[in-house]
Amino acid sequence: MPSTFSYEWDTPAYKGKTSFNTGLFINGQFVDGSNKTTIDVVNPTTGKVVGQIAEAVEKDVDIAVDAAQKAFDSAWGLNASGAKRSELLWKLAQLMEANLDELAAIESLDNGKTFGWAKGTDVSFAIQTIKYFAGWADKIQGQTIETDERKLTYTRHEPIGVVGQIIPWNFPLLMLSWKIGPALATGNTIVLKPSEFTPLTAIRLCDLINQAGFPPGVVNIITGYGHTVGAAISGHSRIDKVAFTGSTLVGRKIMEAAAKTNLKNVTLELGGKSPNIIFNDADMEKAVSWTTHGIFWNHGQACCAGSRIYVQSGIYDEFLKKFTEKAKAIKVGDPFGTGIDQGPQVSQIQYDRIMGYIESGKADGATRVGTDGYFIEPTIFTDVKPDMKIVREEIFGPVGVVIKFEDEEDVIRQANDTTYGLAAAVFSQDINRALRTAHRLQAGTAWVNCANQLHANVPFGGFKQSGIGRELGEYALHNYTNVKAVHVNLGHEL
């Protein structure tokens, strides 16, 4: 029997309660998994289980795909006008807005980020993203193309059909909005797997999806493990597109599975080891603040985190001193406490992984805070060598490495010397140098005198092994449309 998840908060940051339907959300209803098994939901602040959710297995993916295909053929796809799709997306955004605090509290409980960040960034940006794509839904435009007067030649930007979407645990609701926004705007139906570590806000959203009026089967949300449900989605013969955000390692598996089965369209948003370059002439105070934000935002659990910090020799000592001070001032603690900047990492697995990197870097100062939960203090390494694990591999935790450099050519070479290419940042008050450098960095996003700035209307994605395709902005629509060229002969004789 589908159940409910209930929780009550009585904390400085938030007081309230929630109780919502859980289960696999298929065809507008909450159902058990076929195996009747469940997954524990763990609160990373305490390390304790706070509830269970249904576990989907491969068979459930089939059921969801059936529902999504049926909806695509009847109530969705091109059977629902752009204006209608726009209206429903808009309604969903309004419902999210009406439940902003509750969604933020659930996110904070499940992921460990502070309530303040969940409310001010995650949920707010998710709402804005849905609103943004609602506005595109009635603007999906093809072209008429001049060939000759006896022919009518045009393109249609059609929805692909049933799309599979697999999202990560670092910004659960936000990542969900980045995926469903453009997919629904363009008329696709969805089978989405949230991360098994952070399923709660996705499940909470399902009631709102029903309330907004989406026909059953348009959005299906099934919780399960990557190696079962994720694999089943990537290899499914009746899913024509898979979109994944997560690690490069898993991204490869997904692309491989797609290639081996039905060559489904694949977009990937993977890891990064983004360089943050600070020149001598940078505004010191601002560079320090942005750099801190760049690596420690979201406890370092951001794909675009500026984790390799290159500081020009002329300001190196002063920068390191100020940066260290700022890092030390970050208050780590209960995400629902007062004055807290950083909560726990998301899970035991992540905690162990990050601590493993810290050990490998032979650092001191990375002590565990308290005895419960997965707290890690902001950690900075210096005196590193380019081939160290902590310099080359994505840590995905609050761990930054600081590297001294002499000249522009050399730092650009070092910055680009990675298989990743997600983002990069440049700090300099010489705009010429800043633009030159930004243009030469091999990254899908280049920040000049800022870091980690995202907008729903600006594209985001990776060069090289950081990904394929772009999310956000008009560019995201391309991921979810199939272009058909129509040649209507209205006068040519053969």
Nearest approach, Cβ of 196 to other proteins (angstroms)?
34
| DSSP 8-state secondary structure symbol assigned to residue 367 | P
Q: Which is nearer to other proteins, 259 or 488 (CB)?
A: 488
Sites of contact with other proteins (CB under 8 A): 82-83, 86-87, 90, 128, 131-132, 134-139, 141, 149-150, 152, 431-432, 435-436, 439, 456-457, 474, 488, 490-491
- Residue position matching structure tokens 């670092």: 170
Q: Which is nearer to other proteins, 76 or 132 (CB)?
A: 132
Secondary structure of the chain: what % helix, strand, coil (to 5)? 40, 20, 35
CB-count exposure of residue 97 (10 Å: 0-12, 13-18, 19+): middle
Check: CB of residue 390 under 8 Å from CB of residue 360. Answer: yes
**Cα–Cα dist 271/302, whole Å:** 9
Does 408 participate in catalysis according to the annotation?
no
Q: Which is nearer to other proteins, 130 or 268 (CB)?
A: 130
Nearest approach, Cβ of 163 to other proteins (angstroms)?
22
Nearest approach, Cβ of 448 to other proteins (angstroms)?
11
Q: Which is nearer to other proteins, 149 or 387 (CB)?
A: 149
**Cα–Cα dist 465/450, whole Å:** 24
Q: Which is nearer to other proteins, 90 or 225 (CB)?
A: 90
Nearest approach, Cβ of 490 to other proteins (angstroms)?
4
Among 158, 196, 269, 471, the one annotated catalytic: 269
- What Å distances lie between residue 435 and 147, 181, 211, CA to CA? 40, 32, 47
Nearest approach, Cβ of 480 to other proteins (angstroms)?
17
**Pair of tokens at residue 129:** 């993203």
Nearest approach, Cβ of 129 to other proteins (angstroms)?
11
Q: Which is nearer to other proteins, 28 or 473 (CB)?
A: 473
- What Å distances lie between residue 142 and 76, 79, 157, 478, 486, CA to CA? 19, 18, 6, 11, 11
Check: CB of residue 398 under 8 Å from CB of residue 410. Answer: no
- What Å distances lie between residue 415 and 289, 401, 406, 454, CA to CA? 21, 13, 13, 21
Nearest approach, Cβ of 486 to other proteins (angstroms)?
13
**Cα–Cα dist 234/256, whole Å:** 9
**Pair of tokens at residue 355:** 């601590």
Q: Taking Cα atoms as reference points, which of 273, 265, 300 lies closest to residue 417?
A: 273
Q: Which is nearer to other proteins, 370 or 491 (CB)?
A: 491
Check: CB of residue 204 under 8 Å from CB of residue 103. Answer: yes
What amino acid positions are annotated as catalytic residues?
269
